[in-house]
Amino acid sequence: MTTPLLGDPASMSALGASLRRTAVHLTADGEALASAVARATPGWRGPRSVQLRGRTSTAAEQTTAVASALDEVGRSLQSAAADLSAAIARLRELEDAAATMGLEVREGAVTRGWGITGVADAAAVRDEDDRRLHLQERVHQSVTALGRHRARLAKDLARAQELLARAADELRR
């Protein structure tokens, strides 16, 4: 493959699945903690119990928020993995199509192969240029779509990072 390394969809999907499993466990832990606080509340008396109940409730709420963020990131990673896999397949198909025309795809550009190619016929050269430009447009569309998918993933990760930072701040109070 003459295109640069695009990424590893399988690893991205596996990480997404792992994050989503962790989110399920955290959700269950948060629910168990909230339930334990609710059951213990009638027996807790005094100022220390109020403070501990408040901290415990905050921990339960933030556990749920973190679980939600992890699930969202996991879903985004799995979606991005599918998009990346499809983009890699499209680019490979385009490289194969270029090779059958005596062209190469190098770093997103469709170029003529090395050496003497084609014939000394102006009409044939124009046809080849048309095919090359059409193929270049398809490569550009695939690379642009891949860039949009990466930007969406980066945005989702940044949003999760902000949520996790807020949760950490809440837990430190």
Question: What's the half-sphere exposure (Cβ side, CA atoms, 13 Å) at 35?
Answer: 6
Query: Taking Cα atoms as reference points, which of 82, 143, 150, 152 lies closest to residue 110?
Result: 143
What's the pLDDT score for residue 125? 74
CATH of 9-172, one of 3.40.350.10, 1.10.132.20, 3.40.630.30, 1.20.1260.20: 1.20.1260.20
Distance CA 17, CA 54 (A): 33
Q: What is the DSSP letter of 46?
A: S
Residue 35 has pLDDT above 70, yes or no: yes
pLDDT at 81: 94
- Tell me if the pTM is above 0.85: no
* pLDDT digits 0-9 by tens, 45-101: 888 888 888 888 889 999 999 999 999 999 999 999 999 999 889 988 988 988 888
pLDDT in tens, 108-136: 788 877 766 656 677 877 888 888 899 99
Residue ranges of the domains in the chain?
9-172
